[in-house]
Each structure stands twice: as C-alpha cells, then as structure tokens.
Copies of this chain bind each other. A is one copy, B any other.
Amino acid sequence: TLDHRDTQRACVTALSSDSEGARLSFARKDTFLKVHKYFLFSGDKVIPVFLSQCRECHFCKSPKTNQCVKAWTEVIMDIMCPIDSRFSCKGKKILQFSGLGTFTEYTVVRQINLAKIHPDAPLDKVCLIGCGICTGYGSAVNTAKVEEGSTCAVFGLGAVGLAAVMGCKAAGAKRIIAVDTNPEKFEKAKIFGATDFVNPKDHSKPIHEVLVEMTNGGVDFSLECVGNASVMESALHSTVKAWGVSVIVGYTLVQSFTARPVDLISGRTWKGALFGGFKAKDGVMEMVKRYMEKKLMVDEFITHNMDLCQIMEAVELMKKAKW
C-alpha cells in the first residue's frame, strides 16, 4: 500500500464491501477435518480476521494477550501483508492484504483466522466487527481499561475512533472528548457517546495544551486512532500525569514517536494493542452476540452500501471522508 495512512481504514472498507463473501467453503478434505475440530462446517457464516487465534500456542493460552504465534504479524510487520500469498495472476504473486485479501468474491484463508458467527447475523452489517469496531472498542475496554466516571480523549474519528468513543462510553466514561480536524465527524461521534468536540485547527496552541486546560490537568485515558506519530505524542501529553494511560491504536510503519523520560516517570503509561486486545475469534463472536442483543451499535457506522465493482469509487469516498 503506497499511501500507508489509509491501510487501516481500507481494511474496514474491504470487509464492508464484502457483503456476500463470508460463507465458508472448503477446497480440501484435510482442511475440512482440521476446521471440523473447531465446529466449522461448509456454509457457516464466518468473519475473517487478520489476527489469528490458534488456541494452542502459549500466547493463545494466556489471558494476558490476544497475540498468536501463528499470526503472520509474528513473522513480518514491515509490510501489511504476509509474504506467503495464496494467489497469483499470470505468474506474478498477488499479496493478500492483512493475510486475508477480502477485496475478492472468493479468498483462501487459514481456519485460525475465521470466527464463526450467529447464523442469523446480517453479514452486510457485522462484517465491520471483523476489524475497525473490535479495534477501537477493545482499545478502550481491554487495553486502556477505561474506568467508570473517567475522562477520555479520542484522537481521530474514522471507524476505529468512533468505535473507541463507543468503547469509552460502554466502560462508563463521564466525559469523552472527540478530536478531529474534520468537524463534519462530530455529529457522528455524538451518536456514539462523545460529549466534547475539539478541532485542532480552531486552536493556535498545541492540542494537548488545549485538552490539559479543558480537563484541569489532563484526561485519564487517551486513544490515538489516526496512525500518526506526532498525534501519538499529543495523545500522551494530553493525559494527566500521575495515572494517565495513552493507547496507540493507529498504525504507521513510516514514523517513530519520541518522548522525554520524565513524561513517563511522572506516572503515565503508554501502551498499544492489535485488534483492541480481543482474542481474534472469541472477540468477534462475543461482539456479534452483543450486536444481536442490541447492546452494540454497528448499523450507525454504515454510510454507503456498494458493490465490489465500485471499490475504487468507495476508496475515493473514504479519502474524501464523505459520510
């Protein structure tokens, strides 16, 4: 992906455009047998997840992490695709984005990357749970461990950031400050639970100073959902010394972040997670269940329903933030 900053959101778009694809079929009998062990059958409704859950490695067996040693991210994270693609075209290898490659009518994935979901779940909606919603929501609930009555700041109001706002609200945050340079997103953020809105373009001083003043010392939790190193630094500095927790949710491989030791020594914690800290299969299954029980908003994320052949048009809409 040349324009790296778009990769995370592109992933969401990919899944959301893939409304017909998430039904399972098997190419080989041995695959069937292996999958059968986990109660998957041909025709089951599934959601493909870029992170695997093999249930057998020491990471999968630990409640402390959602990492899996069989994840392609274990081998390589310097590009957004594993190098062992299952596809080629005219003899040339085609990489599968995030190990899935869901911008296709059919794809081939490992069973450890498939979450079986409720047979009544609407695929054209719950597909969003397979990346952006879990990533944002889980970053608030699982990684930051947002506390009841706390004050939070969410930087960036794409699908991931909106889901983070929803996670903060679910965790009982009293005040949720939504930060974005596009004020058109504030209306949507309000639906998910944001209470305050800050556009960095409206202020001449650094945005973390604005937040520290607004909150009399800094927020308890901040979540960076952009994938920009300087925003990650702002998000850290927006938290209150003493107990502030800042979570890096956005992804970038082209930048590094920098801070002074005293920024952490004064009591702050800087952390991050893939996929919002959710175990890949368990998390998706649980979140789909919550949606079916009307305890989780999903429909509210959807602005367009487009066919796969309109994919380039969809990407352009996303780049222009038309929603």
The interface of chain A, by Cβ under 8 A from chain B, is 59, 62, 64-67, 73, 77, 227, 229, 232, 241-243, 248, 250-253, 255-262, 264-274
Contact = CB atoms under 8 A, between A and B. Distances in A.
A267 to B, nearest CB: 5
Given A256-B259, A272-B264, A65 B250 contact: no
B270 A269 contact: yes
Given A65-B242, A243-B65, A270-B270, A265 B253 contact: no
B265 A274 contact: yes
A164 to B, nearest CB: 14
Copy number in the complex reads 2
Given A266-B272, A268-B272, A274-B266, A251 B261 contact: yes
A266 B69 CA distance: 12
B272 A242 contact: no
B267 A273 contact: yes
Nearest to A229: B261
A73 B243 contact: no
A232 B248 CA distance: 19
Given A250-B261, A252-B261, A261-B252, A267 B65 contact: yes
Given A242-B64, A257-B259, A259-B256, A248 B265 contact: yes
Contacts of A273: 265, 267
A150 to B, nearest CB: 11
Given A250-B261, A261-B257, A266 B229 contact: no
A303 B274 CA distance: 48
Contacts of A271: 264, 268-270
A262 B76 CA distance: 11
Nearest to A270: B270
Nearest to A74: B241
Of the listed residues A67, A248, A253, A272, the one surrounded by the most CB atoms of chain B closer than 10 A to its CB is A272
Contacts of A250: 261
9 contacts: A67-B267, A77-B262, A248-B265, A250-B261, A251-B265, A256-B258, A258-B258, A265-B272, A265-B274
Q: Rank and list the top 9 A-B pairs by shortest CB-CB distance, nearest first.
A: A264-B272, A65-B242, A265-B272, A67-B242, A64-B243, A269-B271, A270-B270, A258-B258, A65-B243
Contacts of A256: 258-261
Nearest to A232: B261
